[in-house]
A and B are shown apart, each in its own frame.
Chain A
Amino acid sequence: MGKTYFIKLIQFFLLCLLVNSGMAQDGILLEAESFPEKGGWLVDPQFVEQMGSPYLMAHGMGKAVTNATTEVTLEKKGNYHVWARTKNWAPGNWAPPGQFSIKVNAEKLENTLGLKPYWNWEYAGQVDIQSPKAKLELVDLTGFNGRCDAIYLSLANEPPPSKAKALASWRKQMLQEPPAPATTKEYDLVITGGGIAGCAAAIAAAEEGLQVALIHDRPLLGGNASSEIRVHTLGIYGKFERILKKIDTEHYPNGSSKAKLDQQKRDDNVKSYKNIHLFLNWRAYDAVAKDDMVQYVDARQTATGERMRFQAPLYVDATGDGWIGYWAGAEYSYGRESVYKYGEAWDKWGELWSPEEPDNFVMGSSILWQTEVGETTFDFPEVPWAVAVAKEHEAVAGEWYWEFSRNDLHQIEDGEEIRDHMLRAIFGSFSNAKHQEGNEKYRLEWVSYLLGKRESRRLVGDHIFTFKDVVDKMEFSDSVVVEKRAIDVHYQRNLQDEKLPDFLSEALFYKTGRYYIPYRSLYSRNINNLFMAGRNFSCSHIGLGGPRVMRTTGQMGAAVGFAASLCKKYKVNPRTIYQKYLTEYMNLIESQQWVNP
């Protein structure tokens, strides 16, 4: 569906609504992410579940980005009131960093936007529109992550509702969305999340002849390994070297622009499978289970808002955040278990490793970034709102340990705040460094705006993989994943010294020999047709420490893809493969062994 068409559709529905309801208000809702010309603004769909919608963000690293524009068709001429849904993302005793304004037909509206410390409708001003069509522009004023979710134009001076629930139903009403997506598509397997785990699952299943849908909310595949986040893949290949080599990365430094090369390889390879139906820029927003079986996954195009329903006998949750399981009612865990729960002590590190009392101190999320030394000097703006987070810290380079976790923050629910905190840490530390002699030619080459996550929801399977499985070197009849990488678990440095920045972490490495993950950790205990692969597999907090790296999560994906093919062959659910067809399954996996020519 065309984007402008979609905008018009909203207007049309709105008019119907107004006629029908006889409201004295003529209003037009424009979703910013649906603007046909986005200029330098980016679509950010990461926090839809918390703030209600994808939004446009001016991520210019300190340089104002070019305008995003759209054309609005108006049924009525008149004096329009204009609101933008936005927020001040770094509130405090300074000028808000993310300011922008709106132009209508080249006329700048009175008020600057991005001022209040929460998502809300801010009043941009009034404009007299006498033409049937009007050009509308978002004008970034700072280059520092101004954000706009939607714009509302109305002849009446009545802003839309602000509270989440009321807003959501108002939005639905404005868009006249029927309860279910109009289109339903059917497959053998529906995979949500195109990180390394999801890609590997798709390839394995496709190679066995399944029709696979891969729903991924980004334009590029790979999740944390993509060139948008730039983490290199670690771990071993296990039985799946051939498949994993199609999608993994070289060992470039985290954050390196070399990630682009592997991006091309990965995208080309996945796209080469005719029976992988790729839905890039589609974000799943719901999954419903009946009688402990997922019935469908609903997803939305992140820019146009178009919706689609995906149905299959089997589903894979490879979202990293366990979204599909969460929506479908699968059991999950979050946080650090008590050290006694699974016997996961490492005395040397005590509380930093695994606490006596459970808590929600998971490993944190990161934003990677890169600088370059230019030919000439480069001025970086003053950023008091960022220095407030960075404090005295100076840096011209980031690394994996730029990581943020705090016990009042949830890695999913507070994702936007965590991301913004990291942006402030980066801009502030860089600004501090720029004040030092010798750094004049440094410039920011790239700062990701996507949160690289390490740990959030872990779906519960028939087996919960823990540290004990590693220490005891447990081998299972259904060992489908093998790893030998050290178990590493992170903690925030400021726990030991509160003077240290709150955005730096430290890793604890437990060296080990080979350890194994059983197939039973890769399907849900209570949702019978749901697999999981990736960091949301069935494990404890410490259990995640080793196998969260992406060749290992890739192994999980591949193992799940092959299991799905047998599920299809015998028309059974994942658990039955373990109970009845384990030999055949293990043989299938064994036959994947890569023999070096």
Chain B
Amino acid sequence: MGKSVGLLLTLSLGLIGIYGMTVVLEKPLHMHMEKEWQEVAQQQEMGEFYNPDSSLSHPLVLLTNDQQEPLLFYADILTPVCIDGTCKPVYIELYWNLIGNYVGYGIDQTQPLTKFDHDNFIAADYEKLHQLLLDNNSVLSRRKLEDLFDADVQPEKKVTYKGVEVDAVTGATRKEIKDSVIEGALYSCYTLWHLVHGQVRHKIEDYLRSIYSRELGDSLLYSNYPDYQFYALKNMEAVEYHRHLPQLAHIFKEREPLIRNYILKKLPKEAWKEARFSEELYSAFSKIDLNSRTLLLKNLSHANLNAATLLSEQVSKMTKNQLKMYLRFLEEDESRLSPTIKANLVQIVSKEEYTFTYLISAFLE
């Protein structure tokens, strides 16, 4: 997180009159934002979030550095996990980033997590817990606890359809549940997943939205976290993209297909015309995912002229339909088939290594 985000949030916090208190935290067991965690110096209470499962509310804490620049959200949790009326306490410290995504947890060494038979968690269990909490779309999110329990403990149970609401994944569910939960600790997994992904996320998001500004968006965009960047991209008007082309090119090359696709679909037409930017996008063609490649091809007609030439050097990476799109583009306007492009096409045909050379040959004829 860049300094500026922190500063902006500090200002906003100052406005709503929350002041810091010094904080000492135990080192979390798993933490995705190690750097931010290291910087934590103070904490500020941000109200409470409610957990409908336990009917308990937990205080939500904003962690800041010594200049009160926000870094992470945190909650020190003590919650009961109950089965058939018997409850046991679970102690855990949870962390979220500034847009509400879970980033890590810690435990009190004197209060290890346990399974229902009272065995302590082993290292692999702690790791699995972190992974399952990271999974936004965990099977735990869409199942009732009872169903999960059935699948967990009664592998042979036959699910009849009559009168029973079942969904399209049932066949796979048992395995999916086994993969998603820690054996013998289903209830803890369930309780914690819902805590992490429940009301607290809305609280954080609402808060961020209430203080969101163009400058804050910019600093998220220039942070090094994909989810911050995506958040900023979504909250930015398309016309604003123009101000950030080098950073967009950087994100485009580094990030996952979903974010690339988003950028390519939202980019205003004029941005495609920028020679430097266009060069960055189209020269990455052979290194990026297939769906983004298709989007690059779809935008050829308003991209800078260098795009078609850059693509002619990477034709052998095109799928059949992509090649067809490219050739159609060249065909639409004779002037598009420059001598360089033509020479590159001829060369591909001569090498005969590319499956779809027959289409190029037909085109050249």
The interface of chain A, by Cβ under 8 A from chain B, is 91-93, 116-118, 232, 234, 236, 250-251, 253-255, 348, 350-352, 355-357, 359, 361, 399-401, 406-409, 414, 417, 484-486, 488, 494-498, 502, 506-509, 511, 549
Contacts and interface: CB of A to CB of B under 8 A. Distances in A.
7 contacts: A232-B171, A234-B168, A401-B172, A417-B320, A494-B289, A496-B258, A509-B167
Given A357-B266, A409-B321, A507-B168, A117 B355 contact: yes
Given A400-B172, A408-B321, A498-B257, A251 B142 contact: no
Given A352-B258, A408-B294, A408-B322, A400 B137 contact: no
Given A350-B234, A406-B291, A495-B258, A118 B358 contact: yes
Contact of A488 (B160, B167, B234, B325): B167
B166 interface: yes
B256 A251 contact: no
B338 interface: no
B321 A495 contact: no
B61 interface: no
Nearest to B319: A408
Interface residue SS majority, chain A: loop
A356 B266 contact: yes
Contact of A357 (B170, B265, B353): B265
Contacts of B167: 234, 485-486, 488, 509
- The range of chain B's interface size is 35 or more
Interface string B228-258: 0000001000000000000000000000111
B172 A407 contact: no
Nearest to B171: A253
A498 B161 contact: no
B192 to A, nearest CB: 19
B171 A254 contact: yes
A251 B291 CA distance: 35
Contacts of B165: 236, 484-485
B238 to A, nearest CB: 9
A494 B356 contact: no
Q: Closest 5 interchain pairs by CB?
A: A253-B171, A357-B265, A408-B321, A408-B294, A251-B161
A197 B170 CA distance: 22
B15 interface: no
Contact of A408 (B136, B142, B257, B290): B290
A84 to B, nearest CB: 18
Interface of B: 136-137, 141-142, 159-161, 165-172, 234, 256-258, 261-262, 265-266, 289-291, 294-295, 319-322, 325, 353, 355-356, 358
Contact of B290 (A93, A232, A488, A502): A502
Contact of B168 (A361, A400, A414): A400
B283 to A, nearest CB: 18
Contact of A414 (B257, B261, B294, B321): B321
Contact of B355 (A91, A352, A496): A91
A232 B353 CA distance: 44
Given A406-B291, A495-B291, A251 B321 contact: no
A324 to B, nearest CB: 26
Contacts of A506: 137
Contacts of B161: 234, 250-251
B316 to A, nearest CB: 12
Contacts of B258: 351-352, 495-496
A359 B265 contact: yes
A412 to B, nearest CB: 13
Given A351-B262, A495-B256, A495-B258, A407 B294 contact: yes
Given A250-B161, A486-B142, 10 more contacts: A234-B166, A251-B166, A348-B136, A351-B262, A357-B265, A401-B169, A401-B172, A407-B294, A408-B321, A498-B289
A122 B148 CA distance: 56
A400 B358 contact: no
B278 to A, nearest CB: 19
Contacts of A93: 353
A400 B265 contact: no
A77 B166 CA distance: 66
Contacts of A356: 262, 265-266
Nearest to A414: B321
Contacts of B159: 251
B248 to A, nearest CB: 16
Contacts of B295: 407
Which of B161, B170, B319, B355 has most A Cβ within 10 Å?
B161
B142 A509 contact: yes
B160 A251 contact: yes
A173 B85 CA distance: 80
Contacts of A352: 258
Contacts of B353: 93
A414 B320 CA distance: 10
A400 B169 contact: yes
Contacts of B256: 495-498
A236 B291 CA distance: 36
Contacts of A401: 169, 172
Nearest to A417: B320
Contacts of B257: 494-496, 498
A255 B170 CA distance: 13
Given A356-B265, A357-B265, A399 B289 contact: no
A508 B137 contact: yes
Contacts of B291: 361, 406-408, 495
Nearest to A488: B168
Contacts of A400: 168-169, 171-172
A251 B170 contact: yes
Nearest to B297: A408
A500 to B, nearest CB: 10
Contacts of B265: 355-357, 359
A342 to B, nearest CB: 18
Nearest to A499: B256
A77 to B, nearest CB: 36
Nearest to A248: B161
Contacts of A236: 165
B261 A549 contact: no
Contacts of B261: 351, 495
Contacts of B136: 348
A508 B142 CA distance: 9
Nearest to B357: A117
Nearest to B295: A407
A355 B171 CA distance: 29
